[in-house]
Amino acid sequence: MAKWMKYVSVLMVIVAVASLNLSSTCKPKVMNNNKLIELSLNHPAVPSVETVFIENEDAAAISELTWTLLADCEFRDVYVEELDAYYWKPTFGASVLEKEGQDIFITGYMIPVDYDEDFYVLSRYPFANCFFCGGAGPESVIDLRFAAKSRKYETDERLTFRGKLALNANDVYQMNYILEGAREYKP
């Protein structure tokens, strides 16, 4: 019953906001080359508020990173005295090393690790089959380091993110693949 009431409350807020007439205070805007451009459209048929993000204007400068490419990595057991344990040390293949530091995008499943710390991992596989829970290897997850505080993501949301690829072969407290400056992306 309480869950139903929550949905009704959210619906009422949406209806209230939708009924506001903001046409006299807003003009359509377009985001282009990271600059917000205000359009002067004085035709009554044109919506009064619209923000459009043109994400792929620099599509040539960004490339897709695939999970198959990330599998170009070999792991060997290395003893870490500080932990008194073995861990898998990666040796990245040439195709992975070539992508290091590049602006890339990748699609996968969200795995929330710590909501309070804004710590999320993007996985090749859904939660039940991911590296942490199933039989997949460490090459099947990438740490998302957001450019700004992110929204709360749900487990197994399938999304695409953009950022710069960083590789980690030595810090056992970090993942092997890291997406620096991560933000949602629509290719």
Give the model confidence (pLDDT) of 114-162 as tens digits.
988 999 999 999 887 666 566 678 889 999 999 898 899 999 999 999 9
Residue extents of the structural domains in the chain: 2-53, 61-184
Separation CA 19–CA 7 (nearest Å):
18
Among 184, 75, 95, 64, smallest CA distance to 139 is for 75
Instruction: Return the CATH number of the domain spanning residue range 61-184.
Output: 2.40.50.870
pTM of the model: 0.66
Separation CA 59–CA 19 (nearest Å):
37
Cβ atoms of residues 99 and 109 within 8 Å: no
Among 57, 26, 56, smallest CA distance to 41 is for 26
pLDDT tens-place string over residues 75-124: 999 998 988 999 889 999 999 999 999 999 999 999 999 988 999 999 99
